[in-house]
């Protein structure tokens, strides 16, 4: 059994490496598939033995072999997060479609988290496929009904998720005469609605707002940010969705 978990961890780290490629290239409009990885400082191609997930970062001492420039810890963090996400998914759902779906969701969520955190954007190349997969899976009669909705609840969740954020943007713009959130957030919440149904929307919004508030209060107190500071909400929606899934059993008991 340990061998299986090691394999899943390694598989996750490989997808984590691909996630890093997407995180750095998608905002720049680069090709995430055809071109080989290269150092962002000296532009030299990275050889295969310097591109082994997790291991190469440690062996190279966080520096490029060619120019000695520091390699961002983000590379290691992303690979580790995706690998752990795969292991946790496999631990709970073993060999199942649910595990595969959570593998997919892990990769998308990690990419969205880091892109929005740095660039304040959520590319359509991520949200649209996530919506499509979330809706398509709902037609499988053998899908885990405890976690995932049927296609009717899925499409209602997608629509509500989008228009909730759209309405917040509309009201904020009317009151303050400026943009408060982006439509990328609306598309992400729509994707979450497609995946987990309309019932997930209020809980994801509540959890994400609560986490955002916990991070914002210290920044406001030490005056490193103000009430008008730009804050990416995508990462908080991701964390809110993770909290929703993690606490789903307790939520269902609460609703009953």
- Segments in the chain forming alpha helices (H): 2-25, 55-59, 73-93, 97-119, 124-136, 151-176, 183-196, 200-221, 234-246, 248-255
Residue 130 sits in the same domain as residue 67: no
Q: What is the pLDDT of residue 36?
A: 73
Q: What is the pLDDT of residue 226?
A: 63
The count of structural domains within the chain is 2
Cβ neighbors of 235 (< 8 A, separation 6 or more) are 112, 113, 116, 117
Cβ neighbors of 103 (< 8 A, separation 6 or more) are 12, 15, 85, 86, 89
Residue 130 sits in the same domain as residue 197: yes
Write out the H or E segment, with its range, that includes residue 241: helix 234-246
Question: What is the average pLDDT value for the chain, to the nearest integer?
Answer: 90
Q: Which of 48, 79, 95 is the last residue of a domain?
A: 95
Q: Which of 168, 194, 49 is CA-nearest to residue 108?
A: 194
Question: 22: domain range?
Answer: 1-95
* Structural domain contains residue 115: no
Mind listing the pLDDT tens digit for each residue in 162-219?
999 999 888 888 887 777 677 999 999 999 999 999 999 999 999 999 999 888 888 7
Task: Report residue 131 as tokens.
Answer: 């919506």
Q: Which of 47, 77, 95 is the last residue of a domain?
A: 95
């Amino acid at each position: 059994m340990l061998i299986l978990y090691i394999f899943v961890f390694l598989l996750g780290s490989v997808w984590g490496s691909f996630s890093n490629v997407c995180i750095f290239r998608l905002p720049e409009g680069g090709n995430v598939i055809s071109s080989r990885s290269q150092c962002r400082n000296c532009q030299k191609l990275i050889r295969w033995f310097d591109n082994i997930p997790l291991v190469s970062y440690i062996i190279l001492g966080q520096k490029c072999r060619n120019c000695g420039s520091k390699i961002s810890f983000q590379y290691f963090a992303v690979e580790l997060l995706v690998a752990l996400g795969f292991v946790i998914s496999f631990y709970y759902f073993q060999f199942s479609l649910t595990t595969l779906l959570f593998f997919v969701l892990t990769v998308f969520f990690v990419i969205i988290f880091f892109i929005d955190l740095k660039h304040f954007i959520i590319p359509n190349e991520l949200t649209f496929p996530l919506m499509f997969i979330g809706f398509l899976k709902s037609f499988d009669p053998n899908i885990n009904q405890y976690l995932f909705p049927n296609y009717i609840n899925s499409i209602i969740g997608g629509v509500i998720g989008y228009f909730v954020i759209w309405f917040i943007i509309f009201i904020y713009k009317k009151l303050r005469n400026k943009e408060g959130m982006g439509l990328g957030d609306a598309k992400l919440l729509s994707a979450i609605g497609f995946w987990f149904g309309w019932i997930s929307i209020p809980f994801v919004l509540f959890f994400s707002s609560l986490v955002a508030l916990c991070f914002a209060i210290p920044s406001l107190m030490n005056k490193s940010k103000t009430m008008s500071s730009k804050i990416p909400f995508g990462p908080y929606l991701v964390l809110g969705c993770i909290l929703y899934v993690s606490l789903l059993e307790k939520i269902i008991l609460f609703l009953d």
